[in-house]
Each structure stands twice: as structure tokens, then as C-alpha cells.
Amino acid sequence: MIYFDTSYLVRLYYQDAGADRVRALAATDHVACAALGQAEMMAAFHRKLREGAIKPAAYAALAEQVEAHIQAGAFHWLAQDGEILARIRQVYRTLPASVFLRGADAMHLGTAAEAGFRVVYSNDAHLLAAAKHFGVEGRNVMV
């Protein structure tokens, strides 16, 4: 099983830069993500609708496709619990001031680490730079 953050999940459905490489990687194994990735992914698609990158009919079709895939078990969604939150708090306590780490990125990294993943796939530079503080490797196949 491989761990994708939301930036990679979006590329499974939307032809952003690097989508072909992300899709090829996804075809090699089952994809896992923190449960919050569902909300983040739909928010990203809604942003594309709001900005005019996709039309309402395409957005509706995209939302239906995502829902069908979720219902079919295409992804392994990992719940966030107290142990993950404790790990995140601990990392923030010792995180150097120079490291930029958003809360949602910390949720991805903490979730992946607690679930035993050694690698997290993302193209988010901040998440990738902070991964080592959670004991995981951040990897981007799009470069």
C-alpha cells in the first residue's frame, strides 16, 4: 500500500502537471490517505469550479466519479485518532522554527507515520520538507 496526500489524489482525477506519473504510481499498489483527504480533495475540485477551470457539469461528473470510487473501496481511508494527534503535538513541540508545517499537512504526516508508512507521496514542498520530522520519507514522482 502507498500513501498519497491530497495533491496526489487530485491528480488521479484532474489533469494537472504530473498527473500521468501519479496515475502510473497509483496503478502499482493500493492507495491510502488520511480520511481528511476526502474533504481536501473535494475542496480542491470546488476551487477549480469557483475559479472557472471546470464547468458545473464537469464538476458534478467529477464529484460523482469520486463518490463511486470511494463507495467501491478504491482508497484505504485512515482515521485520525488521539495517538496521531499526540504525535503531531510532539512533533510541533520540537519542530525547528524554520520549518513551515500546516496543520493539514501534519495530519497527513502523522497519520502516515502512525500507520507505519515509510514513504509519503506528495508534491507539496512544505510537506515534503517536514516529513523527516515524522520519521517518514517525502517523495515526489513528478520531478
Using a pLDDT cut of 90, give the percent of the chain over it. Answer: 99
User: What cell was used for 25?
Assistant: 504510481
User: What cell was used for 71?
Assistant: 463507495
Q: pLDDT tens digits for 128-139?
A: 999 999 999 999
Q: pLDDT tens digits for 12-66?
A: 999 999 999 999 999 999 999 999 999 999 999 999 999 999 999 999 999 999 9
Q: What is the pLDDT of residue 143?
A: 87
Q: What is the pLDDT of residue 107?
A: 97
Q: What is the pLDDT of residue 117?
A: 98
Give the span between the Cα atoms of 26 and 97, in whole angstroms: 34
The CATH H-level superfamily of 2-139 is: 5'-nuclease (3.40.50.1010)
User: What cell was used for 19?
Assistant: 498527473
Q: What is the pLDDT of residue 135?
A: 98
Domain extent listing, the chain: 2-139
